[in-house]
Structure 1
Amino acid sequence: MNVLQALFEAELHIAGRPILWREIIGNGFGIASAIGGMRRVVWAWPVGMVGNALLFTVFMGALFHTPQDLNLYGQAGRQLLFVAVSTYGWIRWWRAEHRSGEAVLPHWATGRQRAGLLVALVVGTVVFAQIFEYIGSYGNWAEAWIFTGSVLATYGMAKGWTEFWLVWLGVDAVGVPQLLLAGFYPSAVLYLVYAGFVVWGFAVWLRVQRAHPRHAAT
């Protein structure tokens, strides 16, 4: 219990600004999960879930008394949904790996699936923007976009759709300025670093997909 309390209270001060160590550690797990996802290994999912748990306590700042003292309900809520979607992805990849030796083979989504993603992104952003405004989230429209896009990107990764990397780019484009304005600097830096991983990961998955054209066409 003392170790947990020490983790919650530990801070790093840079240029006079307090930064929580659990924000840094949680984002470290996020980067590790991104690398695992790019390499298509099953452990990417549980590693990411550990980071989700830590970051939930960071973005519910008013509840857990962080230096920012802000509740970013979109950022916090997506951590919870990440755990649910990641559980699905973990099981799906684990079963595929034991069945065929490959956790996932990248492929394009069908036209209907792409249309479904686009509709879900637009509708989800509009609906959650109203919800986040009602409950008092900081930057409700940006939060809604980040929340919806993050969940859809994670679901796309579980399904093996190569497009999921492109959804993440859209999330990062909004997430970086949002987090900088809110004062969550380690998370903003993670988004910038993650954007580089996204471009790299997209190229890696596309190369694997082209090496399995028959599966990609299917």
Structure 2
Amino acid sequence: MNPVTELLDATLWIGGVPILWREIVGNLFGLACAWGGMKRLVWAWPVGIVGNVLLFTVFMGGLFNTPQNLDLYGQAGRQVMFIIVSCYGWYRWSVGRQHGGHGQAGGNGAGEAVLPRWASNRERAGLVVAAVVGTVVCAWIFQSLGSWGPWADAWIFVGSVLATYGMARGWREFWLIWIGVDIVGVPLLLVAGYYPSAFLYLVYGVFVSWGFVVWMRVQKQTQQQGQPGEPALVG
């Protein structure tokens, strides 16, 4: 067996249940990405991408012969979308860091790449429309493909993409979207047998609630200092 295959198949047994190490490691990378996002650090994006690649191989269980042997197309597909949106976020935050997080030359020297703000009414409306339409369309697609739990899978996919995009834009709402994803994701993953991912979703639920409060405090401090709340960045 070659080293790549050994790495992909490395398994931890807990209570007689096989758990892939790459599922555990991929989720830990995701948690590190969330922590970096809370701190508004650019490296959060490439770290998240590594986790996305690992988790893609986990959720395409039928293709990669995981212990669950289930294809969750929404869970797998969102890893691909994460990578695409993360490239945008990586670029946007890199530019933001060069301009002090708010489009002003000189930087703030703290490594913070974006200033949190609430989305505008128009942006919120766009999020709602995208969430509803995207979930309906994706559920139909996933069901046609034979996905296990297509409706829950569809919302997790769409909500995750919207939350990642909101993070890239610096919208505080992205934390709330993540909470909505976690509420649906935990029972889906528990029933499907992806126990490390389900546990990490629980951890995410607590973490994103904390992150929302942190960003709220940052926005309040920014407003008190008289800095603009919308980074003047390209895109």
CA distance in 2, matches of 1:3, 1:49: 22
- Give the corresponding residue for 1:3: 3
- Paired residues for 1:105-144 under 5 Å: 105-144=115-154
Cα deviation, residue 217, structure 1: 7.7
Kindly indicate whether residue 60 of structure 2 is the aligned counterpart of residue 60 of structure 1.
yes
Amino acid at match of 2:32: A
Q: Secondary structure at the match of 2:172?
A: coil
Q: Unaligned regions of 5+ residues in structure 1, if any? A: none
The structure with more radius of gyration: 2
- Give the corresponding residue for 2:35: 35
8 Å Cα contact 1:93-1:158 kept in structure 2 = yes
- Paired residues for 1:7-26 under 5 Å: 7-26=7-26
CA distance in 1, matches of 2:80, 2:59: 12
Q: Which of 195, 206, 215 is equivalent to 1:205?
A: 215
Q: Secondary structure at the match of 2:115?
A: coil
Kindly indicate whether residue 164 of structure 2 is the aligned counterpart of residue 154 of structure 1.
yes
- Give the corresponding residue for 2:104: none
- Give the corresponding residue for 2:84: 84
CA distance in 2, matches of 1:210, 1:108: 11
Q: Secondary structure at the match of 1:216?
A: coil
- Select between 97-106 and 33-42 the one with higher mean Cα deviation: 97-106
Cα deviation, residue 146, structure 1: 0.3
CA distance in 2, matches of 1:96, 1:157: 13
For these two proteins, the number of residue pairs brought into alignment is 218
Note the aligned Cα RMSD (angstroms).
Answer: 1.2
Q: Secondary structure at the match of 1:212?
A: helix
Amino acid at match of 1:216: G
Q: Unaligned regions of 5+ residues in structure 2, if any? A: 101-106
- Give the corresponding residue for 2:174: 164
Cα deviation, residue 139, structure 1: 0.2
Cα deviation, residue 5, structure 1: 1.8
CA distance in 2, matches of 1:81, 1:54: 14
- Identical columns (%): 66
Amino acid at match of 2:142: F
Amino acid at match of 1:203: V
Kindly indicate whether residue 72 of structure 2 is the aligned counterpart of residue 72 of structure 1.
yes
Kindly indicate whether residue 206 of structure 2 is the aligned counterpart of residue 196 of structure 1.
yes
CA distance in 2, matches of 1:56, 1:151: 15
